[in-house]
Structure 1
Amino acid sequence: MAQSMLRKFVVGNMVVVGLVRRTSARSLATAASAQKDKNDQKNLPSEGEITKSVFMSQSTDIYTNLAYEDWMYRNMDFAKHHVMMVWRNEPCVVIGRHQNPWLEANVPFLGEKEIALARRNSGGGTVYHDRGNLNITFFTPRERYDRKYNLEIIKRALYRGFGIKSTINEREDIIVRDKYKISGTAAKLGRLSAYHHCTLLVNANKADLSKALAKRETKATASTPSPVANLADLDNKVTVESLQTAIGYEYLRTPALHMEDGGQRLISKQRGFQFINPTEDWYPGLNVLTNELKQWDWCYGRTPEFTVSRSFPVPAELLPSKLYSATQELVISMTVEKGLINDVTLNIPPGLIESGFHGEASVITLLKGKRFTSEALEALENAMLTRHLTNDVRKLDDKEQFVAKCFDQVVNTV
């Protein structure tokens, strides 16, 4: 029989008692516990019994904040206590759970600028964060998840606090001036709990945003880009701090289940604003979640299979002019699965074969299983070097350098 124990978790100035199972997470629930869950869902508290809190994360690390979201989702009971978390990060790109980072982001640019890439647990599209973004997460029981309610609170806060008019489009983005996107949205719905999160552009670095989210051509489904605007461009009084205060108070003055202005009277009945320090000491198990989100296998290895193919005209000086007067092309095609090269084809013009690099199966085999990064380029260069007849030659000739340069462009550029 599965054993479990009660454990206390500190959340702000509250103590949350959670049930910690000692069995595997895959253990099946008994018929009795399943029936209890159904009864609990039917007996959700009335609106008057629900209080609200605004949690303000003190971390600016994307992996820590995403892990804290997941920790709350797993451990807290939101039946009588709805929570809105506000947070921001150092520069990073965040992709949806099922997205392709090489398709959605300019991965080489992220490396050059030391911009983190993170994969979140929710769906939705890719977004850029920096300290000029305000990120918001709404936590409720699954049965009381209401994305439109949450977005309406933001919309009302923008107008009440700054006189900024906005609309919510069919994709549930928040739009200003009829076309500029200021907020994207995503969600995760579980058996008992749910969260909806979105990001608001306040004074983000739009130049880095544009470069970080540059697209590359692959045979996969990409996010739909939209023109964006910073709220500070509309009103210079809007800052991340003033916006989180405006949205926080709008959240606290609104009843939990319907749109109505409860004013100061309702605010006084809520649990208010609370500073949150997401650390292992306060939230046992948080470090494990954070470390999982940092792993290459999660950020890149969870990518669905995709293919990429590019053609490169061969410079005339690299070909025997008397025999090859027509334009010759080097074609590189790769299939990438779970972030690793699964198949690769190098269609090399005959004129390049004479360089001593023959594109033989032994060379191609060395590329399979390599990460779709500079690791694959290094493997190709080493393979070409092994083709040299003398061991003391450790430099690629001009034709081999051309092949390597083209391969580098496939792997490391958009």
Structure 2
Amino acid sequence: MRYISMTSHNIGENLATEQYLMNNKDFGEPLLLFYYEEPCIIVGRNQNTLEEINQKYVDEHNIRVTRRLSGGGAVYQDLGNLCFSFVVHSDSEEFGDFKSFTQPIVDALHEMGATTAEVSGRNDILVDGKKFSGNAMYSRNGKTFSHGTLMLDVDLDVVGKALNVPEDKIKSKGIKSVRSRVTNLKPYLAPEYQDITVPEFRDTLLKKLFKVDSLDEIKDKEVVVTPEEQTKIDKIYEDTYNNWDAVYGNSPEFTVKKRQHFDMGTVDARIKVDDGKISNIKFYGDFFGPGDVEELATALNGKKYERNEIKNVIDSVDTAKYIVGVSKEELVDLLV
């Protein structure tokens, strides 16, 4: 087995590295990747991004959002979470057999004191019946990777807020995440690991997986990305993981109903979104305005369904001509 401990804390850059190594390198043996990143949300390949995240909270707290190649549900990660990924030839493992990939991690955690850790259900790892790891899988061109999370010391308060969609529900064809009881792993580790940091946790797992006492013993197994390879990885990052169309635009078609009562009356907006952009919007309600509100709808059609773009449109038109008594800011808040 070969391994790489990635230095970037940008989830998109790390996923780009994982993708590049899977598609362009063959070490003749399995590859293990470890990485951890600043606050981010990663949605599954078949999910509706806007349905899975609390966009307002995400924007206010600068949480990065990206989409991964693999399926499964949305996950929140921060610097208290460690990700692992195994890359193998597809014929060496059955697709969907998560246990074959995760059991070595579970065995190492048992050695660290988390003796109740177990692979459970389709793709989770639990400790005392609570989830601390979710896993997903992807295959292409004879290779498969299975990657997962290890919630060592994640800010659990943020998990619920960042992934908690507000009351205005979205009717979508996207695959929805299953909300589970989650926990951090650290309280279940042996006393000598209670103050362990994420880098120390990573290195401890490496030593246990390779059955060595020091990482110096496996220096020849470490993978180092060359500058030429990094240039190619950077392009994957920009084209896929830092690309609005790939993250939001690939969301399935969905509809949103936004309705609010103001002092001057009720505004009811029905918004159809396709590939992340407004394909149709209709305004209903008992509001007043000298102009035809259909003109406002026309201005919004074709725009990205995200706050900044909607705000730019609203700021550029005289909204009082169509809806009297509602400020531009209130209208933006209603729509997004």
TM-score, length of structure 1 as denominator length = 0.71
In the TM superposition, residue 400 of structure 1 has moved relative to its aligned partner by 3.3
2:326 maps to 400
2:61 matched to 1:77?
no
Q: Residues 142 and 165 (structure 1 numbering): CA distance in 2 closer, same or farther, change over 3 Å?
A: same
Relative to structure 2, which stretch is displaced further, 159-168 or 364-373?
159-168
Deviations 1:30-88 (A, max 9, x none): xxxxxxxxxxxxxxxxxxxxxx122111111212111100101111125x311111111
How many percent identity over aligned positions? 25
2:140 matched to 1:190?
yes
Deviations 1:88-115 (A, max 9, x none): 1111111111212211111222221111
2:234 matched to 1:287?
yes
Q: Residues 272 and 346 (structure 1 numbering): CA distance in 2 closer, same or farther, change over 3 Å?
A: same
Equivalent AA in structure 2 for residue 65 of structure 1 = N
2:281 matched to 1:347?
no
2:335 matched to 1:410?
yes
- Matched ranges for 1:359-370 at <5 A: 359=293, 361-370=294-303
Equivalent AA in structure 2 for residue 410 of structure 1 = L
In the alignment, is the contact (CA less than 8 A) between 1:67 and 1:290 conserved in 2? yes
Q: Hey, what's the Cα distance between the residues in 2 that align with 1:219 and 1:251?
A: 44
Q: Aligned to 2:290, which of 342, 356, 371? A: 356
Larger radius of gyration: 1
In the alignment, is the contact (CA less than 8 A) between 2:258 and 2:334 conserved in 1? no
2:122 maps to 171
Q: Hey, what's the Cα distance between the residues in 1 that align with 2:291 and 2:326?
A: 7
- Matched ranges for 1:142-291 at <5 A: 142-145=90-93, 146-178=97-129, 180-216=130-166, 217-220=169-172, 221-235=175-189, 236-253=194-211, 274=222, 276=224, 278=225, 280-291=227-238
2:157 partner SS: helix
Structure 2: segments with no counterpart, 5+ residues: none
1:39 maps to none
Q: Aligned to 2:78, which of 123, 126, 130? A: 130
Q: Residues 141 and 404 (structure 1 numbering): CA distance in 2 closer, same or farther, change over 3 Å?
A: same
Deviations 1:136-170 (A, max 9, x none): 01010011135211211111111112243212221
Q: Residues 222 and 306 (structure 1 numbering): CA distance in 2 closer, same or farther, change over 3 Å?
A: same
In the alignment, is the contact (CA less than 8 A) between 2:320 and 2:326 conserved in 1? no
C-alpha RMSD of the superposition: 2.6
In the alignment, is the contact (CA less than 8 A) between 1:93 and 1:115 conserved in 2? yes
2:15 maps to 66
Which ranges of 4 or more aligned residues in structure 1 deviate by more than 3 Å?
267-273, 278-284, 380-388
In the alignment, is the contact (CA less than 8 A) between 1:232 and 1:239 conserved in 2? no
TM-score, length of structure 2 as denominator length = 0.87
Q: Hey, what's the Cα distance between the residues in 2 that align with 1:345 and 1:284?
A: 45
Relative to structure 2, which stretch is displaced further, 134-143 or 94-103?
94-103
Counting matched residue pairs gives 322
